[in-house]
Amino acid sequence: MKSINSELPVVVTGGSGYIASWIVKYLLEEGKSVRATVRSLKDNKKIAHLLELKDQFKDKLTLLEADLLQDGSFDQTIEGTELVIHTASPFFVAGIKNAQKQLVDPALQGTRNVLESCNRVSSVKRVVLTSSVAAIHSDNIDSLQVPNNTFTEEHWNTTSNLTHQPYAYSKTLAEKEAWEIQKKQTRWDLVVINPSFVMGPSLSKRLDGTSVEFMKNMLTGVFRTGVPDTKMGFVDVRDVARAHILAGFTPNAKGRHITSAEVIPMLGVAKIVKENFGKKYSVPTGNLPKALVYVIGPFFGLSWSYTKNNIGQPLNLNNEYSKSDLGLTYRSLNETFVDHVNQMQTSGLI
């Protein structure tokens, strides 16, 4: 059990990211001080929305540069704080050329780097880590091995590797390493958030994030001919942000937390968009035949093994522990997708 002094600044790594930006905003709105790390203070495109928050909240927000791959990079930021929320990690699933360098090294070494800083800085009491359901399972076919095809926090992804689902592999290695490092000491505890696919309005106008890009592709006709018949868990970015803050400030919070509102077929996203926006967007109206996904899937980053192991396979994610341990509640996916589309429209992204 750890009570965090809410007068001290909270560290958020990867502060310019899609999820982290909401964490930063909510913390500031609650009156807390925040130290957010970004890769470059000169990258105005990436940090414009944080600079707007800084204008609004003044000295309550401090932006600092830190890189996951640079030893000691986070020491100064963490000095004198009790709560560190570590979100920074590369998140992309397509166009991977060197999975070790692009995904595993920053995820794994970055986690080591941040947690070693926490070991050096004696004030730290709690670390909240953004992991993923990708550290719980890899392909949907893996659900055939668990009771009721339902994954819980007890499960670990055992089937990803550098060539198959390397992003999921990077998240699995990073979370495992975090638990190993945590177990070697008693001063700080670790609470882990494992979100499914995160959607909902972005605070920035960036389009390079995987979640935002997925919605853009859905709306702009990239999937016009159809989508793979695969089930996915979805969750609102604002609920994921709240989960991190609850994980930080709930003294008894413990362990891993599947953070997912609902599992629906990919086509369900298009259905919700259509119900709310009519014919305004060129969303898919059906599933692609599996044989066709084998042929065209590779052009969209879907390998043959992905197609074989995910299309038509069951998937359930049990989110009960996030509700009981953190008191988290979930928005409906209707609200999530509608707000996401509206934000993209008002930001001029579609």
Minimal distance, residue 284 CB to ligand NAP, in Å? 20
* Calpha distance 250→325 (Å, rounded): 9
* Helices 333-346 & 266-277 angle (0-180, nearest 10): 70
Report which residue's Cβ sits closest to ligand NAP: 17
Q: Is 197 among the residues that bind ligand NAP (CB under 6 A)?
A: yes
Label the pairing between strands 34-38 and 61-65.
parallel
Label the pairing between strands 34-38 and 10-13.
parallel
Q: What is the side-by-side order of every strand in the sheet holding 10-13?
A: 61-65, 34-38, 10-13, 83-86, 126-130, 189-195, 255-259
Residue selected from 11, 12, 19, 247 as contacting ligand NAP according to rule CB under 6 A? 19
- What is the 8-class DSSP label of residue 56? H
What is the DSSP code string of 277-295?
Answer: HTTSS----SBPPHHHHHH
The site that binds ligand NAP (CB under 6 A) totals a number of residues, namely 27
Confirm whether 280 is a catalytic residue: no
Q: Contacts with ligand NAP in 102-131 (CB under 6 A)?
A: 106, 130
Residue selected from 2, 11, 12, 18 as contacting ligand NAP according to rule CB under 6 A? 18
Q: How many CA atoms lie within 13 A of 163 on its CB side?
A: 2
* Calpha distance 54→69 (Å, rounded): 26
Minimal distance, residue 227 CB to ligand NAP, in Å? 17
Q: Is 46 among the residues that bind ligand NAP (CB under 6 A)?
A: yes
- Residues contacting residue 350 through CB under 8 Å, at least 6 positions apart: 216, 219, 220, 281, 341, 344
Minimal distance, residue 200 CB to ligand NAP, in Å? 10
Residue selected from 128, 141, 198, 315 as contacting ligand NAP according to rule CB under 6 A? 198
Task: Give me the 165-184 binding string for ligand NAP, x by CB under 6 A, dash otherwise.
Answer: ------x-------------
Which of these is catalytic: 25, 46, 171, 231?
Answer: 171
Minimal distance, residue 131 CB to ligand NAP, in Å? 7
Minimal distance, residue 76 CB to ligand NAP, in Å? 15
- Residues contacting residue 249 through CB under 8 Å, at least 6 positions apart: 4, 6, 83
Q: Is 65 among the residues that bind ligand NAP (CB under 6 A)?
A: no
Give the active site residues.
Answer: 171
Site for ligand NAP, rule CB under 6 A: 14, 16-20, 38-39, 46, 67-69, 87-91, 106, 130, 132, 171, 195, 197-198, 209-211
